[in-house]
């Protein structure tokens, strides 16, 4: 099984109320897992947010915590609710209502990877799904909430930046009338998960760096954004989706020639976002 549920990187000094997290970039695929799949070691990575952790791992240098998954998405999907179990995959689970994510095989324990390719030959025992949720899902989310609580305790407010990547074809048809194809999609649950001021400033940072940005289309945010975005409690959550084609070869799942250029551009954006959560000088002077 994957060695650890998560990796948490804390800054030397917490100076930002922003927490960056990458729930889908885990790439620990142990043989004990792979031997139960029908996919090869390359195909099973197709739904992974490959290298997103490397794009955002500078966050602690700017005073913000950074959390990344230890287990891969094909093993446990941390951007799903723990009760989003798929009756077509997990033994003993009854169908209750219609959940499009579960119906498509993308529950908390996924049945498929990208393009609907099945991971397993048959079903999994309920005890196996329960173990993955207990040993990987719950520790990751407990740590994420703890990091947000630390930021909130220190600054009176917390902002989660949930970092993801999207297949290039995901934004097919979004750009119309000669507009640039979106390279970044910012999701705030159509205004429900974060303060408009935070979202506008995040969008402005990406736009100023030269990226084409869309908001909430085609991705508005899933479980994590919905669950952690509580603006009334001064806890905000924003999802960031990056077009994989701008930094990696999607077929080979390797960084492309633009990887370091994109990473450098994101470093400046990460610094700017982290600064959104830094204490204001005038506030400190008034204390």
Q: Token digits for 112?
A: 């498929």
In a domain, residue 60? The reply is yes
Q: Could you tell me the pLDDT band of residue 174, with boundaries at 50, 70 and 90?
A: confident
| pLDDT value of residue 277 | 60
In a domain, residue 112? The reply is no
**Total tally of structural domains belonging to the chain:** 1
In a domain, residue 125? The reply is no
In a domain, residue 187? The reply is yes
In a domain, residue 204? The reply is yes
> What is the pTM (predicted TM-score) of this model?
0.94
In a domain, residue 18? The reply is yes
Q: Could you tell me the pLDDT band of residue 285, with boundaries at 50, 70 and 90?
A: very low
In a domain, residue 273? The reply is yes
* CATH number for the domain harbouring residue 34: 3.40.630.40
User: 197-232 pLDDT, tens per residue?
Assistant: 999 999 999 999 999 999 999 999 999 999 999 999
Q: Token digits for 233?
A: 């409690």
User: 74-128 pLDDT, tens per residue?
Assistant: 999 999 999 999 999 999 998 877 899 999 999 999 999 999 999 999 999 999 9
How far apart, in whole angstroms, are the C-alpha atoms of residue 202 and residue 267? 13
In a domain, residue 28? The reply is yes
Q: Could you tell me the pLDDT band of residue 179, with boundaries at 50, 70 and 90?
A: confident
Q: Token digits for 263?
A: 């990473």
**ω into 218 cis (within 30 of 0):** yes
Query: What's the domain range around 143?
Result: 6-71+132-286
User: For the residues 134-162, what does the mean pLDDT come to?
Assistant: 98
């Amino acid at each position: 099984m994957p060695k650890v549920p998560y990796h948490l990187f804390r800054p030397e000094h917490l100076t930002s109320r922003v927490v960056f997290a990458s729930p889908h970039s885990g790439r620990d695929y142990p043989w004990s897992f792979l031997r139960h799949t029908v996919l090869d070691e390359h195909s099973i990575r197709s739904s992974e947010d490959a290298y997103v952790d490397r794009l955002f791992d500078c966050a602690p240098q700017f005073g913000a915590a950074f959390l990344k998954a230890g287990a891969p998405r094909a093993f446990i999907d941390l951007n799903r609710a723990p009760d989003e179990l798929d009756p077509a995959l997990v033994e003993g689970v009854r169908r209750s209502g219609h959940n499009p994510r579960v119906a498509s095989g993308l529950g908390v324990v996924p049945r498929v990877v990208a393009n609907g390719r099945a991971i397993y030959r048959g079903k999994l025992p309920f005890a196996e799904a329960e173990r993955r949720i207990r040993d990987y899902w719950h520790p990751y989310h407990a740590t994420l909430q703890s990091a947000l609580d630390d930021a909130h305790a220190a600054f009176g407010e917390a902002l989660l930046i949930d970092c993801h990547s999207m297949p290039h074809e995901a934004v097919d048809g979004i750009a119309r009338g000669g507009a640039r194809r979106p390279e970044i999609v910012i999701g705030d649950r159509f205004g429900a998960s974060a303060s408009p001021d935070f979202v506008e400033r995040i969008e402005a940072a990406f736009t100023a760096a030269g990226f084409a940005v869309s908001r909430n289309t085609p991705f508005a945010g899933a479980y994590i954004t919905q669950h952690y975005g509580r603006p009334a409690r001064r806890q905000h959550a924003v999802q960031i989706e990056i077009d994989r084609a701008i930094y990696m070869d999607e077929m080979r799942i390797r960084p492309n020639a633009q990887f370091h250029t994109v990473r450098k551009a994101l470093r400046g954006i990460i610094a700017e976002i982290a600064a959104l959560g830094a204490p204001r000088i005038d506030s400190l002077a008034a204390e």
